[in-house]
Chain A
Amino acid sequence: MPKAHAARKAPIRVLIAKPGLDGHDRGAKVVARALRDAGMEVIYAGLRQTPEEIVRAALEEDVDLIGLSILSGAHMALFPRVLSLLKEQGGGKIPVFAGGIIPDEDARRLKKAGIRAIFGPGTSLEEIVATARTLAHRAA
């Protein structure tokens, strides 16, 4: 178990999901694997998830953190929808981070809307893992 987490004893649970219709899940898988190797329990929800399904899964699985991956360009529609459904259903405190192809201007707006971190192409896995851990601990 990673040292920073030993105090809480329980592993961080994180949902990794791909909203929208693009079928490219390599990025999501690489991130899932890296979080696993960092000692987290990664619920991999897979491709083509609707915001409703993602929120449902996050609440049933009682995750500490949600990671969304998207390459289709529909992030401005789908991410805010995930955030608002979470809030509606009592999961407003669960931090959400995202990765994919997201233009800077959109990223700024999404962060303002409540997405806690956004990772573009070329981000190191170390950075993603460290951010995920920080977000989960701050929320706990």
Chain B
Amino acid sequence: MTEASSRLPAAARAIVEGDRRALARTITAIENGDPSADRIVRSLYGRSGRAPVVGLTGPLGVGKSSLVNSLVGRLRSLGQTVGVIGVDPSSPFTGGSVLGDRIRLERRADDTGVFFRSMASRGAAGGVAAATREVSRLLDAAGFDVVLVETVGSGQVDVAIRDIASTSIVVLVPHLGDEVQTLKAGLFEIADIFCVNKVDLPGAEQAKRDLSELVSLGGRPSEWEPPIVGTSTVEPQGIEELWNDVVAHEKFLDASGERTRGERKRLSSEIVGLARDRIGRELLDRLERDPSLRRLLDQVVARRIDPRTAADRLVRRGRSAR
């Protein structure tokens, strides 16, 4: 045990030392908002920021899970350890979920170099769960060389992976639409790498051409030009190239200073988000005990004041009550 790790809470130390059961339990605690995760998450933050966090996103059925499996195989053959998060949707009606991303995973049952965790989105929009960011950071702190995050089968505006991953791979297949689709805002804007999967299907060349036309239009926020990789997981091809592109992008992030810029931006929105949640909760707590909220609500229902004015008063009350 190093001196630094002896100062960690017991569960955090266990995680750092490779205890997978402690890791799995802490992930559950993070997902459930269990206060027992709080100290662990805080104490391990300083150990994160080492592993590339690679996001795979794209519409449902394009082969994200199979690609994750292929990438895991590639990384293991390079001697790298991998932590994987596979996110699937929760039912908006029952809260239930079928998490099926594991089904594609092929690995030896005794290979401790891979850790796979399925995660339900639990009502979060954007393609990942509220806990995904902290769990990916936990896997990073636990010492995995690479963290892979597979999103929910995404729609056009599911771009939350951007706030978690250092490299985002947008996975598509042939015949998803004409080239105008690629011009639309949202998903296509967040790609650091475009992956045309099932490249053995007809139409793959057209899809790649449409994407390269999109890339050639420029207008990106950084100097990085997203490569377009054709892959197949049936007769495996392009997997090595896909990973090489990830490595190249990670190198670019360091060399260009984009990594620090991106981190600062992401972390500032994370901090503000956490603070906003807390202020909101505290405000609600206070007001629930405060009969004046009910009076305010009565007035809005009766159309005597409007919701905006009521919110102004709420904020003012919250401030003065502090």
Report whether A42 and B96 are in contact in the complex, using a CB–CB cutoff of 8 Å.
yes
Report whether B20 and A32 are in contact in the complex, using a CB–CB cutoff of 8 Å.
no
A85–B183 Cα gap in the complex (Å)? 53
Chain A minimum-CB-distance residue to B103: A46
Report whether B31 and A35 are in contact in the complex, using a CB–CB cutoff of 8 Å.
no
Return chain A residues, CB-CB under 8 Å to B99: 41-44
Report the minimal beta-carbon distance from A135 to chain B, rounded to whole angstroms.
Answer: 17
Which one of A52-60, A71-79, A110-118 is at the B interface? A52-60
A32–B20 Cα gap in the complex (Å)? 26
A62 and B94 contact, Cβ closer than 8 Å, known pairs A44-B100, A44-B103: no
Report whether A43 and B102 are in contact in the complex, using a CB–CB cutoff of 8 Å.
yes
Chain B minimum-CB-distance residue to A89: B21
Return chain B residues, CB-CB under 8 Å to A44: 98-100, 102-103
Most chain A beta-carbon neighbours within 10 Å: one of B20, B24, B117, B118:
B118
Report the minimal beta-carbon distance from A38 to chain B, rounded to whole angstroms.
Answer: 6
- Interface residue B115 (Cβ < 8 Å from any Cβ of A): yes
A2–B31 Cα gap in the complex (Å)? 18
A90 and B21 contact, Cβ closer than 8 Å, known pairs A43-B118, A46-B103, A60-B117: yes
A45 and B102 contact, Cβ closer than 8 Å, known pairs A60-B115, A62-B28: yes
- Interface residue A1 (Cβ < 8 Å from any Cβ of B): yes
Return chain B residues, CB-CB under 8 Å to A7: none
A45–B118 Cα gap in the complex (Å)? 11
Return chain A residues, CB-CB under 8 Å to B91: 36-37, 39
Chain B minimum-CB-distance residue to A33: B98
A33–B31 Cα gap in the complex (Å)? 22
Binding site for A on B (CB under 8 A): 20-21, 24-25, 27-28, 31-34, 90-91, 94-100, 102-103, 109-110, 115-118, 120, 122
A-B contact pairs, 19 of them (CB 8 A): A2-B94, A9-B32, A10-B28, A10-B32, A10-B34, A33-B98, A35-B96, A39-B95, A42-B97, A42-B98, A44-B102, A44-B103, A46-B100, A50-B109, A53-B109, A60-B117, A61-B118, A62-B25, A89-B21
Counting from the closest, the 5 A-B pairs by CB-CB distance are A52-B109, A36-B96, A46-B103, A62-B24, A10-B32
